[in-house]
């Protein structure tokens, strides 16, 4: 039988052209109650050594060993070693999800044994890096840097992997010596604040090697989305109030010294949002900041409890809201589920966002943007 609603074809010029859906990012659209976010549970750990080699263990975990006072004495010299004791990771090497996938593949029997109603080899809706989610969380308030996220659906799980934007690449390749030294100072701060053993003391004379990393793999849930993600962690506090991982981890940060209430307000508005998002996602309970003086010393230390940051910003009406960040992230993940429905590791949807625009996407079949390695697809198909 013929469908009664079938209308004669319109001339091409009058047909409404199908436009792929987009996702708006205005904060006001996401200003509701804080969504459900399950307390993150650590599923595993891995390390990257001085040569950037993967190890399925915690050998690179370091231990929080702060000085006894808020004003370090003797003073930290964050510039020390920049010229001669700095081994820099090759950032032109795009690693994608590689190390995280190594962890997943190495734990596939355990992940499978966790059981999944949908029969998936990985019992999670999303697998990604924490850093990618941090960028999603801060999107409603970001006015400087856009992002590109590649997404593939493989055996029931959505994999999300960042693609460097042309602007980010240009910035990285043309980074001034001053900015490079600033980045070094962030790493150097870690050397002054951490020891290699739980009872050790920091040894700030050593080489700073940014190939080294310790990563935690956590499992959590945001609304209806189950997440498995990995994030680099600076250290754990062996004497802290929260002995269990991931709450025992401490994030270290540096920031220019604040001299006025206006500077502090600006720091809360623009910088603390990133610090909060980075640590809140994996359940890291504390952020310890070192405030830099112009001579490269640390003028003061300050501890921020991740769960109390919302209290600091509550009084400022023009400030960011944690609920907006989380509601947007939940909406973005739902958007990915709606758009990426074909299970095919060779199919990549590239989600793009620039400040002032909604999130949009393009579809790419085969070659160029494929990011799930053949070895991974093979291992997880067996
Ligand atoms: P700060 O944290 O003091 O900024 P993380 O804080 O995530 O542990 O990163 C450690 C340090 O790496 C940072 O110190 C910063 O110096 C450097 N770093 C991290 N991300 C960077 C980026 N996108 N560009 C330049 N440097 C970066
Ligand atoms: Mg770090
Ligand atoms: Mg840090």
What is the predicted ipTM? 0.97
232 Cα: distance to centroid of ligand 2 (angstroms): 6
305 bridge partner residues: 286
Query: At 367, is the pLDDT very low, low, confident or very high (cuts 50, 70, 90)?
Result: confident
CA of 12 to the centre of ligand 1 (A): 52
Q: Which ligand is the nearest neighbour of the Cα of 289?
A: 1
Atom of ligand 1 nearest to the CA of 182: 16
Q: Which two tokens stand for residue 61?
A: 């975990």
pTM of full prediction above 0.90: yes
The distance from CA 378 to its chain's CA centroid, rounded to whole angstroms, is 27
Ligand nearest to the CA of 254: 1
Inform me whether the pLDDT recorded for 239 exceeds 60: yes
pLDDT of residue 15: 60
Distance (Å, whole) CA 316 – CA 268: 9
Q: Which residues line ligand 1 (CB under 6 A)?
A: 183, 186-187, 189, 234, 253-254
CA of 252 to the centre of ligand 1 (A): 9
Mean pLDDT of 322-337: 98
User: Residue 227's closest CA among 131, 333, 328?
Assistant: 333
Contact 352, 148 (CB under 8 A): yes
Dist. CA 343 → ligand 1 center (Å): 35
Is residue 18's pLDDT more than 90?
A: no
Q: Whose CA is nearest to atom 11 of ligand 1?
A: 186
Using the mean position of ligand 1's atoms as its centre, give its distance from the Cα of residue 253 in Å.
Answer: 8
Ligand nearest to the CA of 233: 2
Atom of ligand 1 nearest to the CA of 189: 3
Cβ-based burial of 12 (10 A; exposed 0-12, middle 13-18, buried ≥19): exposed
Please choose from 129, 186, 193, 215 the residue to mutate so as to test ligand 1's pocket, defined by most ligand atoms within 8 A of CB: 186
Q: For residue 7, what pLDDT is reported?
A: 53
CA 277 to centroid of ligand 1, rounded, Å: 14
Mean of pLDDT values over 125-135: 99
Sheet of 194-195, strand order: 194-195, 63-64, 235-236, 249-256, 286-292, 298-305
| Residues 245, 58: Cα–Cα separation, whole Å | 12
* Residue 12 pLDDT exceeds 70: no
- Residue whose CA lies nearest to ligand 1 atom number 19: 183
Percent of the chain exceeding pLDDT 70 equals 96
Ligand nearest to the CA of 287: 3
* 219 close to 227: Cβ distance less than 8 angstroms: yes
Query: Ligand 1, closest atom to CA 179?
Result: 25
63 vs 52: CA distance, rounded Å: 20
SS3 152: strand
Angle at 131 between CA 127 and CA 134, to 5 degrees: 100
69 pLDDT more than 60: yes
In the structure, what pLDDT confidence band is assigned to residue 244 with cuts at 50, 70 and 90?
Answer: very high
Closest CA to 97 of 158, 42, 155: 158
Structure token pair of residue 159:
């994999």
Mean pLDDT confidence for 222-244: 97
Q: DSSP for 266-321?
A: HHHHHTHHHHHHHHHTTT--EEEEEEEPTTSBEEEEEEEEGGGHHHHHTT-TTS--
Q: Ligand 1, closest atom to CA 175? A: 25
Distances in Å between the Cα of 273 and the Cα atoms of 34, 84, 266, 316 are: 16, 34, 11, 13
Residue 235 and residue 62 in contact, taking contact as beta carbons nearer than 8 Å: yes
Q: Cβ(149)–Cβ(132) under 8 Å?
A: yes
Q: Which residues surround ligand 3, an ion (CB under 5 A)?
A: 234, 252
Neighbours of 281 (CB within 10 A): 27
CA 288 to ligand 3 centroid distance, Å: 9
Contacts of 11 (CB under 8 A, 6+ apart): none
Mean pLDDT of all residues in 246-266 = 98
Q: Ligand 1: which atom is nearest the Cα of residue 251? A: 8
Give the atom of ligand 1 at the shortest distance from the alpha carbon of 131: 7
Q: What is the pLDDT of residue 116?
A: 80
User: Alpha carbon 153 to chain centroid distance?
Assistant: 20
Could you give the count of Cα atoms lying within 13 Å of 176 in the half-sphere of its Cβ? 3
For strands 41-48 and 213-222, give the pairing: antiparallel
The predicted pLDDT at position 3 comes to 44
Distance 254 CA to ligand 3 centre (A): 8
Q: Which of 89, 173, 183 to mutate to test the pocket of ligand 1 (most atoms within 8 A of CB)?
A: 183
- Cα Rg of the chain (Å, integer): 23
Query: How far does residue 183's CA lie from ligand 1's centre (Å)?
Result: 6
Give the residue from 226, 212, 304 showing the smallest Cα distance to 41. 226
Question: What number of other Cβ atoms are within 10 A of residue 220's Cβ?
Answer: 20
**Which sign, positive or negative, has the C-alpha torsion 8, 12, 16, 22?**
positive
Residue 188: the pLDDT is 98
Q: Which residues of 196-206 are buried (b: 16+ CB within 10 A; e: fewer)?
A: eeeeeebebee
Q: Is 293 helix (H, G, I), strand (E, B) or coil?
A: coil
Question: Using an 8 Å Cβ cutoff, are 231 and 218 in contact?
Answer: yes
Q: CA angle, 292 as apex, 145 and 193 as ends, to 5°?
A: 100
- Average pLDDT value over all residues in the chain: 95
How far apart (Å, rounded) are the C-alpha atoms in residues 228 and 217?
A: 7
């Amino acid at each position: 039988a013929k469908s009664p609603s079938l209308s004669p074809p319109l001339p091409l010029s009058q047909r409404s052209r199908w436009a792929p859906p987009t996702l708006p990012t205005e904060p006001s659209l996401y200003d509701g109650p804080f969504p459900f976010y399950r307390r993150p549970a650590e599923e595993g750990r891995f390390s990257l050594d001085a040569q950037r080699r993967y190890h399925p263990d915690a050998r690179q975990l370091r231990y929080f060993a702060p000085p006894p006072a808020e004003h370090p004495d003797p003073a930290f010299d964050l510039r020390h070693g920049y010229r001669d004791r700095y081994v820099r990771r090759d950032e032109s090497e795009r690693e994608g999800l590689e190390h995280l996938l190594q962890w997943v593949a190495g734990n596939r029997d355990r992940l499978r044994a966790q059981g999944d109603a949908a029969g998936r080899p990985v019992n999670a809706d999303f697998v990604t890096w924490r850093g990618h989610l941090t960028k999603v969380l801060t999107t409603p308030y970001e006015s400087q840097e856009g992002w590109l996220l590649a997404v593939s659906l493989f055996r029931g799980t959505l994999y999300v992997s960042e693609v460097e934007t042309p602007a980010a690449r240009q910035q990285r390749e043309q980074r001034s010596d001053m900015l490079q030294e600033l980045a070094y100072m962030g790493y150097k701060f870690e050397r002054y604040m951490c020891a290699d053993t739980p009872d050790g003391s920091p040894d700030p004379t050593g080489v700073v090697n940014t190939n080294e990393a310790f990563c935690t793999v956590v499992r959590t849930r945001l609304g209806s989305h189950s997440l498995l993600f990995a994030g680099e962690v600076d250290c754990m506090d062996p004497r802290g109030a929260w002995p269990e991982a991931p709450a025992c981890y401490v994030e270290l940060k540096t920031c220019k010294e604040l001299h006025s209430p206006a500077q502090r307000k600006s720091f809360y508005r623009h910088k603390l949002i990133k610090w909060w998002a980075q640590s809140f996602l994996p359940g890291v309970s504390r952020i310890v900041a070192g405030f830099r003086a112009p001579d490269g010393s640390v003028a003061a230390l300050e501890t921020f409890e991740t769960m109390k940051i919302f209290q600091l910003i509550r009084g400022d009406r023009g400030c960011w809201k944690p609920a907006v960040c989380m509601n947007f992230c939940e909406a973005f993940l739902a958007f990915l589920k709606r758009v990426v429905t074909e299970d095919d590791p060779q199919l990549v949807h590239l989600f793009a966002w620039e400040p002032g625009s909604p999130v949009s996407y393009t579809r790419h079949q085969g070659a160029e943007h494929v990011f799930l390695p053949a070895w991974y697809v093979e291992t997880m198909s067996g």
